[in-house]
Amino acid sequence: MKYLIDCSKNLAKISVVVYVLLFAACCTTYANASAALLAGLAFGLLWTTPFGGRATVWGGYLLKAAVIGLGFGINISVLLKAGQANFWATTLFVVGVLGGGYLLGRLTRVDSVVSLLISVGTAICGGSAIAAVGAVTKANANQLSMATGVVFLLNAIGLLAFPTIGHWAGLSQAQFGTWAAIAIHDTSSVVGAAAKYGDEALRVASITKMLRILWIIPVSLFLVLRFSENRESFKIPTFIVGFVAASCLFSFVPAGGALYKTAFVLAKQAMVASLFLIGSGVSLAAVRQTGIGVLVQAVVLWVVVSVVSLCYVMTL
Mean pLDDT of 204-214: 80
Name residues whose C-beta falls within 8 Å of residue 182's C-beta, 6 or more positions apart in sequence: 89, 90, 93, 208, 212, 305, 309, 312, 313
Evaluate whether 198 touches 168 at the Cβ level (below 8 Å): no
Instruction: Tally the residues of the chain.
Output: 316
Q: At what angle do helices 173-183 and 187-197 cross, to 10 degrees?
A: 160
pLDDT at 236: 56
Q: Higher-confidence residue: 311 or 61?
A: 311
Name residues whose C-beta falls within 8 Å of residue 107's C-beta, 6 or more positions apart in sequence: none
Between CA 227 and CA 118 the distance in angstroms is: 18
Check the CA dihedral 150-156-158-161 and report its sign. negative
Evaluate whether 224 touches 230 at the Cβ level (below 8 Å): yes
Q: 3-state DSSP helix/strand/coil percent for the chain, to nearest 5?
A: 85, 0, 15
Neighbours of 305 (CB within 10 A): 21
Neighbours of 13 (CB within 10 A): 11
Mean pLDDT of 140-159: 76
pLDDT at 155: 83
149 has pLDDT over 80: no
310 has pLDDT over 90: yes
Neighbours of 29 (CB within 10 A): 9
Least Cα distance to 240 among 217, 259, 220 occurs for 217
- Residue-wise pLDDT tens digits, 214-239: 777 677 677 766 665 555 555 555 77
Between CA 114 and CA 195 the distance in angstroms is: 31
Angle made by CA atoms 238, 49, 2, in degrees to the nearest 5: 145
87 has pLDDT over 80: no
The confidence band for 172, taking pLDDT boundaries of 50, 70 and 90, is very high
Between CA 184 and CA 301 the distance in angstroms is: 12
Mean pLDDT of 38-61: 76
pLDDT at 265: 85
pLDDT at 147: 79
Evaluate whether 185 touches 125 at the Cβ level (below 8 Å): yes
Least confident of 20-34, 54-68, 77-91, 266-280: 77-91
Q: What is the enclosing helix (H) or strand (E) of 299? A: helix 292-314
Least confident of 4-8, 37-41, 59-63, 164-168: 4-8
Between CA 14 and CA 37 the distance in angstroms is: 21
pTM for the model:
0.68
pLDDT at 311: 92
Q: Higher-confidence residue: 139 or 43?
A: 43
Between CA 119 and CA 130 the distance in angstroms is: 9
Angle made by CA atoms 60, 68, 239, in degrees to the nearest 5: 60
Mean pLDDT of 55-73: 78
Q: What is the mean pLDDT of the chain?
A: 79
Evaluate whether 201 touches 176 at the Cβ level (below 8 Å): yes
Question: What single-letter amino acid sits at 249?
Answer: L
Neighbours of 96 (CB within 10 A): 14
